[in-house]
Amino acid sequence: MLIDSHVNLHAPQFDEDREAVIARALASGVRLMVNICDRVSNYEAVRLVAQHPDIWCTVGTHPHEAKEDPELQARTLVDIAADPRVVGIGECGLDFHYDLSPREVQAKVFHVHCEAARETGLPLVVHTREADEVMGDILEAEHGKGAFPILMHCYTSGAELARRAAALGAWFSVSGIATFKAAEDVRAVIGDMPAERIILETDCPYLAPVPYRGRRNEPAFLPHVAAKLAEIRGWSLAETEARTADAFFALFQRIPRR
C-alpha cells in the first residue's frame, strides 16, 4: 500500500472539495494518511479530519507558529495525545529561513515537544530548515535524556545532519521536492538514507511533485513521489511500496497494520 505520512487536509485550500480529495487519494492507492497539526490551538480542526477511518493525526506547533504559545507545556501535548487518533507529536522544530518566530522561542517550544515525545513514546515529527547544527545539537541532547522515535519530515537539509539523525535511529520522509529538477543535492542525501527507515509524504497542499508542480498538491499525487524514490534507490515500485509501508508501521506503532 501507499501511505501519505504528512498531509494538511484541514488547510483552507481544501475547504471546497475535501471529501473529493480524500476519495481521489484512496482511488490512487493511498490507503492511509496522517493529518499534521500546525499549532495546538488548531488541534480540533486537525482532529476533525482524522475522524475519517483512513486518516490519523498529530498534535503540535510548527516553528512558524511557536510565538503563539511560547509557554507551551509538555503536559498539554501529552494530555491531547491520549486521544487514540493521535499518532505523533509535531510538526515541530526549527526554521531559520523564514524566522517567523524568534529563534530562541522556536528552540524553547521544540524542547517541549521532545519532552512530550519521550513521555508518550510517539514519533516526533521534525521540521528543520537552515538550522542543521542547532537541530543536531538539540536532538542529541534530548535523545540523551531518553530515547524517542524521530521523523525528519520532508528532509532537504544537509548530509551531516542526516548522518547525526540517522545515528539516533531517525526515520526520513521523502516528498515531491525529490522530483524537482534542481534538487540534485536532496536526491544525493536520499540515496544514502537508511533503507529501512524511509517513508513517503506529499505535505499537501504544498510541494506538488512533477508533473503537477505549481498546482495545489494532494495525496493522490503520492505515486509520483514513490516513483522518484524507486528511481533514486534502484528499487521496483512494488519494493518501494513494501519498504515504505514497513518503515511507516515500524515508526507509527499506534496505527494497527492491516
Residues 6+ apart with CB under 8 A from 109: 61, 63, 66, 69, 70, 72, 92, 101
Residue with cell 492491516: 258
How far is the C-alpha of 34 from the C-alpha of 46, rounded, in Å? 10
Over 90: is that where the pLDDT of 157 sits? yes
Model pLDDT, residue 138 = 98
Residue with cell 503563539: 68
| 30-65 pLDDT tens trace | 999 999 999 999 999 999 999 999 999 999 999 999
How far is the C-alpha of 80 from the C-alpha of 65, rounded, in Å? 18
Architecture of the domain defined by 2-251 = Alpha-Beta Barrel (3.20)
- Which is nearest to 88 in space by CA: 136, 44, 120, 50? 120
Q: How confident is the model at residue 258 (pLDDT cuts 50, 70, 90)?
A: confident
Over 90: is that where the pLDDT of 11 sits? yes
**Interval 144-159 mean pLDDT:** 98
How far is the C-alpha of 93 from the C-alpha of 113, rounded, in Å? 8
